[in-house]
Structure 1
């Protein structure tokens, strides 16, 4: 659900893509509203997912894709051993810290997408069994993938939140506006 569509999104492809990814980010952000750190870290379903872990995961995933597109090293790269930590808060991490980190990543994503000469421009994919050899994707593809990835996890966050207290992101729209 898109809760806010800026006037620039109406005729501008970049604005539209940025608006759609932001709408999905908002759904995930709303999933933690009014929860304690303990509630947000709880896993009330058969899955290992928590709403705080989902916030962390989507923020780190967006940063990873942004760094690939920028062709810069990722300062939060995960190894096979630390991959699980991308789905849970560790050490002294808090929801406010993760939300602030994600806001910085989102702002950097927007700045980057607005700065590329064309959404048709491409960047190389890293070597991995799930990517084609010598694969490249466009900046447009990147934005569509971020929308898809964030929306998938927004649905997860909605289910986890609803399992906690019966509330969904849709019901928490007004609460987010007060933030």
Structure 2
């Protein structure tokens, strides 16, 4: 339980607890793995467990920037989409988990302090409705969905890796 979870009430507490729970499901999929195991692809996709942790970190980081400063802030740093889904030379699972922890703490701070009704226009992209805006609340719901979806992917990869069923 984070400091913010202990002090938050109502909707903020619900959001923080839900984020924490789904982050926990994701992190459970990499428990006890070596760097080599975390970098292995076990399906025909490019996904590996370390890459999923890295991707979710990037997604949550970008959406946190959006919550504070909108689309321009979200896109303020370039993204190497292909590299975001794999562990690169020199990356470690422990390092990726640490980076994810820092990102999670930053998001939790935003949940505790931002106006959940504040909104920004979404960036232009084929997958967003033109001219739509999202509130901080809506962004958090999206982040929770992203974490949950990727925790499911990670569970399948982990089961293919060593038979462990982390979510079932």
TM-score normalised according to structure 2 size: 0.87
How many pairs does the alignment contain? 161
C-alpha RMSD over aligned residues: 1.9
* CA-to-aligned-CA distance 1:24-63 (integer Å, 9 cap, x gap): 1111111111111111111112222111111001011100
* CA-to-aligned-CA distance 1:75-112 (integer Å, 9 cap, x gap): 6531xxx2111101113111111111111111111111
Distance verdict in 2 for CA 1:22–1:75, change over 3 Å:
farther
Query: Given the alignment, which residue of 35, 43, 46 partners 1:45?
Result: 43
The question of 1:162 aligning with 2:159 is answered: yes
Distance verdict in 2 for CA 1:56–1:140, change over 3 Å:
same
Q: Which structure 2 residues correspond to residues 1-179 of structure 1 after superposition, within 5 A?
A: 12-71=10-69, 72=73, 76-78=77-79, 82-116=80-114, 118-170=115-167
Aligned equivalents of 1:73, 1:40: Cα separation in 2: 28
CA contact (8 A) 2:46 2:86 kept: no
Aligned equivalents of 2:98, 2:81: Cα separation in 1: 21
Aligned equivalents of 1:113, 1:46: Cα separation in 2: 37
Q: Does 105-114 or 38-47 show the bigger shift?
A: 38-47
